[in-house]
Amino acid sequence: ATPTAVMVATGKGASQGVLIKGGNALEKAHKVKTVVFDKTGTLTVGKPEVVSAVPFSGYSMEEFCDLATAAEVNSEHPMAKAVVEHAKRYRQKIGSHTKHFTEVKDFEVHTGAGVSGKVGDATVLVGNKRLMRACKVPIGPKVDDYISKNEQLARTCVLVAIDGKVAGAFAVTDPVKPEAKLVISYLRSMSISSVMVTGDNLATATAIANEVGIDKVFAETDPLGKADKIKELQMKGMAVAMVGDGINDSPALAAADVGMAIGAGTDVAIEAADIVLIKSNLEDVVTAIDLSRKTMSRIR
C-alpha cells in the first residue's frame, strides 16, 4: 500500500478504536484465513465468579475456604481473585470472626495449574486436576463427578487439597462476551475459520467453544504451546491472526501474522500485538480485517 493509503486507513482505524501499529499489520490482515482466540478474557468477559463450593474428605466449608484463601491471596490469577472474593463473602454470610490465615510459607506458583504453600502445619494445594495429579493427590469418584458435571456446564473447577487429600472444590463461571457468537459466524461468512487456544481443561473449553460456534479447540496449552499452534497453522500456508489479552498470550501474539490484543488486557499482550482493540469488543476483529481488505483492494 502507498504511505498515504496506510495513513488514511490507520487514522480511520484509530477513530473506531482499532489501533494499528504500522503498515505491515494492515497489509497482512486482509490475507488472514484463520483467527485463533484465547478463551479467558478474550472470548469470555474475564471476571470469573465462584458459583458453587463443596467440601470433601470431612473438611468443613470454612476450613477449606480459609486455607484456599491463604494461598490464593498471593496470586494475581483471575481464578485466585474469584476464590478469595467468594471466601470473603462466605465468611460475611456466616458471620465468622475466627482468626484468618494469612501467613503462607514456601509459596509457589505453578503456571497454568495453580498455587501451593504451607499454612500453619497444613500443606495446601489450590488448582486444577493436572496440579493434583502432578502432586499425587488422588481424585475420588465424588470429586470426579463434581468436576465433570461442572465442566459440562462450561465451568472451571478449582480444587483445594490439604495434606494430600482433596478437601473441597469451587466451580467458577466466566460468561462469554455477548458479541462473541455473532463475530465467529460473521468471520465464517468472510471465509475465515475460528480456533480456540486455552490453558484451561478440554471439557470446559469445549463447552465454551460450542456456545460461541467454534469447532476447533486446543486446551491445556501453555504460553509457548499457544505460539506453537500458531506456527503449525502457518505451516499449512495460512495467514493467521491471534486475539488475546494475557501475558500467557504474548508469545502467540508475536508469532501470529497479525497479533490483536484486547484493550483491557495486560500491558505485555498490548506490547506484543500489532493491533490493539481499544474497546475490547470482538466486533473490532472484523473491523480490522475489513479495513485491511478495503485498503488493499483499493491499491490493486
Check if the beta carbon of residue 18 is closer than 8 Å to that of residue 284.
yes
Amino acid at 282: L
Q: Which is nearer to ligand ADP, 220 or 290 (CB)?
A: 220
Amino acid at 164: G
From residue 59, give the alpha-carbon distance in Å to each of 177, 281, 284. Answer: 36, 43, 48
Total of chain residues touching Mg ion, rule CB under 5 A: 5
- Told to judge if 284 belongs to the known catalytic residues of this protein, a careful annotator would answer no
Mark 27-46 with x for binding to Mg ion (rule: CB under 5 A) and - for no binding: -----------x-xx-----
Shortest Cβ 38–ligand ADP spacing (Å): 6
Check if the beta carbon of residue 55 is closer than 8 Å to that of residue 167.
yes
Query: What residues from 260 to 299 belong to the interface with ligand ADP (CB under 6 A)?
Result: none
* 112 is a contact residue toward ligand ADP (CB under 6 A): yes
Crossing angle of helices 283-299 and 180-189, in 10° steps, is 30
* Residue 203 falls in which region: left (phi positive, over 0), alpha (psi -120 to 50) or beta: alpha
Q: Which of 9, 35, 87, 158 binds ligand ADP (CB under 6 A)?
A: 158
Mark 104-123 with x for binding to Mg ion (rule: CB under 5 A) and - for no binding: --------------------
Stretch that binds ligand ADP, among 58-66, 100-108, 196-204, 282-290 (CB under 6 A): 196-204
Query: What residues from 28 to 47 belong to the interface with ligand ADP (CB under 6 A)?
Result: 39-40
| Other beta carbons less than 10 A from residue 92's beta carbon | 9
Check if the beta carbon of residue 101 is closer than 8 Å to that of residue 119.
yes
Shortest Cβ 269–Mg ion spacing (Å): 8
From residue 197, give the alpha-carbon distance in Å to each of 55, 189, 212. Answer: 31, 22, 14
Name the site residues for Mg ion (rule: CB under 5 A). Answer: 38, 40-41, 245-246
> What residues are annotated to the active site?
38
Binding residues for ligand ADP, rule: CB under 6 A, are: 39-40, 72, 75, 77, 79-80, 112-115, 126-128, 156, 158, 198-200, 246, 248
